[in-house]
């Protein structure tokens, strides 16, 4: 299931989600290229994107590789799915990931990007996805490590570290289900204008920022401003953990 605070959060920011999370077109293209590589995507694959949001990465996948089948895009937020262009070869399904994983359907490639921290029933999800995959199929799980380099305020970083599931724990669960698991870490250097990043934080671009009220957020922004007062551009590294889980043949 997805926490209610997250449901409200994504409902509130659906209209501006792409602007908040894009960083840059180059970032989207680079990350999508890595998703394609780790999934070993081919034109004949049947792909599902769980926790797709507005379908940013699925749209870019279709721009980079011509899949013969539409991509199944799953998200519990109707507002987020409504941002997916019609006739885009993306098939939106309004449903949370665990419920979707219980439904009939066979895929040979599935990915879930930066949403596993919202899901309580992780082991059940992994078990069900194992059943949804064909032999030799791949489930790609993307998540941040607990300690990130983003220029957030102290309380936000502490909360992120507390709530982010350890990637080794995810690897262990996937192995218990029966997957053969590999892990890779991909780093991308980011340069974001400080004003743009402040707007992202003000709009609570990370779901955990929705737990801070306006006063707390204002104090956090003041802390960031004081720390980076001599900077007009914030430079930091985005480090993503790519966990590739393959179902044995």
> Rounded distance, CA 35 to CA 140, Å?
8
The torsion angle over the Cα atoms of residues 197, 198, 200 and 202, rounded to 10 degrees, is 170
Q: Which two tokens stand for residue 68?
A: 């013969």
Predicted pLDDT of residue 22: 56
Q: Provide, for the chain, the percentages of residues in helix, strand and coil under a 3-state DSSP scheme, each rounded to the nearest 5.
A: 45, 25, 30
From the list 99, 118, 85, 97, the residue with the least C-alpha distance to 50 is 97
Predicted pLDDT of residue 207: 82
The torsion angle over the Cα atoms of residues 201, 204, 205 and 206, rounded to 10 degrees, is 110
C-beta of residue 73 within 8 angstroms of C-beta of residue 93: yes
Give the CA angle between residues 106, 111, 116 to the nearest 5°.
Answer: 115
Predicted pLDDT of residue 5: 42
Predicted pLDDT of residue 206: 85
pLDDT in tens, the chain (249 residues): 333 344 454 444 444 444 544 567 888 999 999 999 999 999 999 999 999 999 999 999 999 999 999 999 999 999 989 999 887 899 999 999 999 999 999 999 999 999 999 899 999 999 999 999 999 999 999 999 988 989 999 999 999 999 899 999 999 999 999 999 999 999 999 898 899 899 889 988 888 888 999 999 999 999 999 999 999 999 999 999 999 999 999
From the list 194, 200, 204, the residue with the least C-alpha distance to 228 is 194
What is the spatial order of strands in the sheet that 233-246 belongs to?
Answer: 90-94, 71-75, 47-50, 107-113, 133-143, 233-246, 180-193
- pTM for the whole structure: 0.89
> Rounded distance, CA 98 to CA 96, Å?
6
> Rounded distance, CA 202 to CA 186, Å?
27
């Amino acid at each position: 299931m997805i926490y209610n605070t997250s449901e409200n959060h994504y409902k509130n920011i659906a209209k501006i989600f792409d602007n908040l999370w894009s960083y840059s077109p180059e970032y989207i293209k680079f990350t999508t290229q890595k998703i394609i590589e780790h999934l070993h995507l081919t034109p004949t694959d049947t792909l599902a994107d769980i926790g797709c949001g507005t379908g940013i990465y699925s749209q870019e996948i279709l721009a980079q590789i011509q899949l013969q089948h539409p991509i199944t895009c799953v998200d519990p937020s109707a507002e987020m799915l409504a941002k997916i262009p019609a006739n885009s070869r993306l098939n939106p399904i309004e449903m949370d990931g665990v419920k979707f994983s219980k439904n009939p359907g066979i895929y040979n490639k599935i990915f879930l990007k930066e949403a596993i921290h919202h899901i309580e029933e992780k082991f059940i999800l992994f078990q069900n996805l194992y059943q949804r995959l064909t032999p030799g199929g791949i489930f790609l799980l993307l998540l941040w490590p607990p300690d990130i380099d983003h220029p957030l305020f102290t309380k936000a970083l502490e909360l992120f570290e507390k709530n982010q599931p350890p990637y080794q724990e995810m690897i262990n669960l996937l192995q218990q289900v029966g997957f053969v698991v590999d892990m890779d870490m991909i780093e991308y250097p980011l340069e974001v204008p400080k004003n743009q990043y402040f707007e992202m934080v003000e709009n609570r671009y990370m779901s955990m920022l929705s737990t801070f009220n306006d006063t707390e957020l204002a104090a956090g922004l003041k802390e960031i401003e004081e720390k980076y007062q001599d900077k007009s551009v914030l430079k930091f590294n985005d480090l993503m953990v790519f966990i590739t889980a393959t179902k044995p043949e």
